[in-house]
Structures are given as C-alpha cells and as structure tokens.
Amino acid sequence: METIIEFLSDKDGNEPVLDLIKDIRSKVNSDSDMMQLFKFIMRGLEFLEAHGLGAIEKYFIDETESGKPYTIQLVKELRNHVPLLEFRVNWKNAGAFRCLFFEHRTENMQLLLMVNAVLKQTTYSPEFERIAVEAERLYHDFRKNPEQYINLKGAEQYD
C-alpha cells in the first residue's frame, strides 16, 4: 500500500505543520541544534512515508552530523486523543517537535494527514494540549466530510 503525507490547511488557509518546519528551517544557518532537528524531521518524514503506519512498530535510526547514533520511536498513538497519532523528533536545546496527524485510507493508499505541530521545550505543554483538542475536532469533522479537506479523485492525483 502506498503512503502519502498530506499537510492540511487550517481555516485561514495556512499550513501549520509546514509553517513550523519552515520556521525551524529559517534558523539552521545560525543555530546548529535547529539544523540537526530540521534534518531529523525531514529524514523522519521520509521514513514515515516509506513505512506508513508500520513506523509505529519500528525505531527510526540515524546519525547526527557528527556521526553519533540517534534513535527514536517516531510515531506514537495519543492515548488521550484517539485516533490521533504523534510524529516526534527531539534534539537537545532545539526542543521536541511534535506533529499531530491521523490516517485516512482510500483505495490502495494510506493518507497521513498532518494537522498541526508545536516545538515543545518541556514535557507538558499547554500549547500541545490545545492543538490536540483542535486536531481531534478536525478529525471528527473530516470523518463527516473528507471532501472538504482532501481531493478524493484517487491515486492518479499523486502521479
């Protein structure tokens, strides 16, 4: 089954996940921790697209720019916000990148719909909890009316 990652727009037409990734990217020239975080996010998204939700059962193994090993469970289910999933990357002083998403299957495709993301500096984050509640609402709205969020023309739209 092919896996496609889609970044959903909010009600204002912004793409919150891509906006945060772009913000992190804008800091890579002046902050080596942000550079490393950005690289792990990009490689992690490639890993997620290659493995789909099978990534839940796998560890992402990579190397830092200095050659040291880096291992993380990239995807976890959110126990308090089922059926949301969390794409996770941590790096030292840069923080913990957390992206909330959910799955939608169509034909022989697995769409991973990225809803919102934060860069946390502490374990508990009110901002993370806020976007989790919003993402849960969006998920339930999506289930009622997926055409409002994605084009359901099928796999040919991705060719």
Question: Is residue 81 situated within a structural domain?
Answer: yes
Question: Is residue 158 situated within a structural domain?
Answer: no
Q: Strands of the chain (E only): list them.
A: 2-7, 60-63, 69-72, 75-77, 85-91, 95-106, 109-120
Question: Is residue 28 situated within a structural domain?
Answer: yes
Question: Is residue 119 situated within a structural domain?
Answer: yes
Question: Is residue 100 situated within a structural domain?
Answer: yes
Domain count, the chain: 1
pLDDT tens-place values along the chain, 159 residues long = 899 999 999 889 999 999 999 999 999 999 999 999 999 999 999 999 999 999 999 999 999 999 999 999 999 999 888 899 999 999 988 999 999 999 999 878 999 999 999 999 999 999 999 999 999 999 999 999 888 888 766 544 544
Question: Is residue 156 situated within a structural domain?
Answer: no
The whole-angstrom separation of Cα 112 and Cα 16 is 15
Whether residue 89 contacts residue 72, with contact meaning beta carbons closer than 8 Å, is answered with: yes
Question: Is residue 29 situated within a structural domain?
Answer: yes
Residue-number span of the structural domain to which 32 is assigned: 2-147
Question: Is residue 61 situated within a structural domain?
Answer: yes
